[in-house]
Structure 1
Amino acid sequence: MKKIGILVPYLKNNGIGRVAANMSNMFVKNGYSVKLILNSKVVDFNFSGEIIDLKLNFNKETNCFIKLKETILWIKKIKKIKKQENFDVVISLGARSDLVNILTKEKEKVFTTLHTNIEENYNKLYRMLYYLNIKYSDKVIVVSKYFEKYLKNKYQKFQQKVVCIKNSIDIELINSISLEKLDESLGENYILSVGRLTESKGQKHIVKAFYKLKDEFKDHCLVILGDGNMRSELEKIVENLDLKEQVIFLGFKKNPYKYMRKARLCVSASYFEGFPMFFLEAMATGCPILSTDCISGPREILTEKDISDKLDYSQDFEYGFLVENFLESKNNIEEMLYQKIKDILLDVEKNKKYRDISKKRAEEFSEENIYKQWEKVLK
């Protein structure tokens, strides 16, 4: 039995934590021994295997000397664990985890991963160090074709190391817990937004687009799942627009699927993404997706169009709905969202059609299908 280590800071309310948990479930189901190596035993997601708790409660320090000291301590602990555990493969998630993984390489294969836009989300130091990451990794697993193209163009010498394997979802689990009872006061006439409440997620544009809808859809509300540093600002926007009765902040939810299943539409207004898990999860419950055509991920989920193609955003796409990338568009952001949301809500047949389409599309990202790709690189 092959032993896999998954190196990730936490299994908490963020994208890579959810991806790591899903990975552990997929690998254990397929006969691997899995150990999740966490800085702290903070767990929000269902996982399989064992946890190795490093008991490293790092603060979000900006001081580079403190960060260096923390990283050295992390490296020492990981090096010791790798010698003890004799892993066949260690897969890391996150920029800092990737760095620690390559710097502690023993006899095991080291797989680093890329889940986000390097240019937007990596600081200057990690961007500079990324050459080491790709040089000393056995494989670099990227979650989108955009990232694959980016790395292969920038690091042509190491092209053979870069492999695109998209995130997987446990459809059976999602469908099962999506049936949990929902607060009856929500009803079924609501639009859903899911994600960290940050500037780059663009929730303020969704709120402002919803404001344009409020008179035409008085019985609808906007439900926002997630927490983050923009929450107080978003609440002020809601208050200023007199939307307190129609915009509901529910914070982070361990089970977002029951909200997805009943929603009429899930809307994303991100400026950039990696490969958004909640798209796949919402689609698995039958919830249609409307998103900005940002870098990267949404286009690869919602259409078969190539990442280099010029799109006609007035049309509906094969698996969902897209509006222009806000960072490149000269058009009014809220107006684009408003018009598209209105069209989807008014057209009952279209909404029903895309609920069925979404479910079928989500099946392509099932654990069974995605594992076939992992199996090739784990041999």
Structure 2
Amino acid sequence: MRPDPPLRALFVINSLAGGGAERVFTTLVEQLSGPRSDFAITVALLDNEAEEAYLLPENVPIERLDAKGGLLRSVRGMRRLVRRSRPDVALSFLSRANVATLAAMRQTGGATVISERVNTTAHLKHGLSGLVSRLLIRRTYPAARQVIAVSQGVARTLETDFAISPDRIRVIHNPVDVDRIRARAALEPAIEVTRDDFVTMGRLVDNKNTAMAIRALATAPARGNLIVLGEGPLREELAHLAASLGLERRVRFAGFLANPHAVLARAGCYLLTSNAEGFPNAMLEAMALALPVVATDCPSGPAEILEVTLGEAPAVFGSGGALVAMDDAQAMATCMGRLIAQDRPAFSEAAAIRAESFSLDQAVGDFRKSLIQAVAANRMAAT
């Protein structure tokens, strides 16, 4: 039953720059706000980005804290905001926002729900900065009323590596708004694409390992191009790699597209080459458009989505595509040839069916329940 009046809810994220976590965050705000909602939502953006890839509903107030990527500035800004707004519950996405929100909410006693979007151990950098980040997470995350993990693999890491009690961890997979994705896919694509082409999508950074897709194309028994959707600091380096392999005409860097779904829907196969994920949105969205995938067995998400275990094999086929060992470009190339040609129809159908398992209504309902339960548990503990 809806609380009356609505709960004051503060939703926190680093920024609305393009990315999977930002897309899910925006979807949740859209779905959980409105005149009949359980929540009166205010959004806090830690950083004031010049360009924002996602738009929030006009009725949702936005606080831009301009922390410039700094943790201490994020904590100070969040403390000022929390003292002023005194939310009943806060929901935060991504590690820096999680730490800053937990630190700020301690002063008011409000309930805090944090959402971990990546495999924390695999994602954090090595060296001193990684050590400090791991220590901060280990010190702060156990104080959350609930920790939402985006996959079972992320949940296991939080429990084993960061000492979070399993009764405070809840797995909520990323939602896939299949109807919206398919409607956008019906529009004209911004670039030319054919069923012979492969697509990969994400920021051009080390963790996404886009170089693996380029190396795989070089030996794949296929004639199509590789379309790279996304921007990042490695673009020039990746273009040089493509040229060195004689692929300058077959690797197309399309940048960030406002509607990538129109391209995905017309391609032949999707490639995920990451070294670490939480639960890959782009892979699921491609599958929702009946695109078979070849994905690396990175921690965490791809194996869970494809419902397979790689073990010692170089590749294994599952529900909608193939799973290959990380950085094994030859195994990826072999699977690319199989999925783009003779086996595409069967895996295309299986991909679309599997994507429908991750419904928008289920995920939104689970987040709503988590926030309401966190407030109830907090109030019970206070009395």
Q: TM-score, normalised by structure 1?
A: 0.86
Aligned-pair distance for 1:267?
0.6
Aligned pair count reads 355
Deviations 1:81-103 (A, max 9, x none): 22433423211112211111011
- In structure 2, what is the equivalent of residue 339 of structure 1? 334
User: Aligned with 1:168: secondary structure?
Assistant: coil
Name the stretch that deviates more: 141-150 or 78-87: 78-87
- In structure 1, what is the equivalent of residue 123 of structure 2? 121
Q: How does 1:254-273 map to 2 (within 5 A)?
A: 254-273=258-277
Q: How does 1:1-379 map to 2 (within 5 A)?
A: 1-28=6-33, 31=37, 32-38=39-45, 39-40=47-48, 42-48=51-57, 50-56=60-66, 58=68, 67=70, 71-105=71-105, 106-122=108-124, 123-155=130-162, 158-183=165-190, 185-213=192-220, 216-218=221-223, 220-303=224-307, 305=308, 310=311, 312=313, 314-326=315-327, 333-347=328-342, 350-379=343-372
Quick one: structure 1 residues 27 and 311, their matched pair in 2 at CA, closer, same or farther if it must change by over 3 Å? farther
Query: RMSD value over aligned CA atoms?
Result: 2.3
Quick one: structure 1 residues 197 and 73, their matched pair in 2 at CA, closer, same or farther if it must change by over 3 Å? closer
Q: Which amino acid aligns with 1:267?
A: L
Q: 1: distance between equivalents of 2:235 and 2:32?
A: 36
- In structure 2, what is the equivalent of residue 330 of structure 1? none
Quick one: structure 1 residues 91 and 189, their matched pair in 2 at CA, closer, same or farther if it must change by over 3 Å? same
Deviations 1:272-323 (A, max 9, x none): 21111101111111111110111111011111x47xx737555421232111
Percent identity between the aligned chains?
A: 21
User: Aligned with 2:365: secondary structure?
Assistant: helix
User: Aligned with 1:186: secondary structure?
Assistant: coil
Aligned-pair distance for 1:230?
1.4
Name the stretch that deviates more: 134-143 or 176-185: 176-185
Q: Which amino acid aligns with 1:231?
A: R
Aligned-pair distance for 1:127?
0.3
Q: 1: distance between equivalents of 2:32 and 2:319?
A: 31
User: Aligned with 1:316: secondary structure?
Assistant: strand
Q: Which amino acid aligns with 1:203?
A: T
| Contact 2:315–2:322 (8 Å) recurs in 1 | no
Deviations 1:88-136 (A, max 9, x none): 3211112211111011112421112211232233322110111222232
Q: TM-score, normalised by structure 2?
A: 0.85
Q: 1: distance between equivalents of 2:270 and 2:370?
A: 34
Q: 1: distance between equivalents of 2:285 and 2:55?
A: 14
Greater than 6 Å deviation, 4+ residue runs = none
| Contact 1:19–1:167 (8 Å) recurs in 2 | yes
Task: Name stretches of at least 5 consecutive residues in structure 2 with no aligned partner.
Answer: 1-5, 125-129, 373-383
Deviations 1:55-99 (A, max 9, x none): 51616xxxxxxx4xxx44433332232243342321111221111
Name the stretch that deviates more: 272-281 or 313-322: 313-322
Aligned-pair distance for 1:206?
1.0
Q: 2: distance between equivalents of 1:121 and 1:157?
A: 18
Q: Which amino acid aligns with 1:9?
A: N
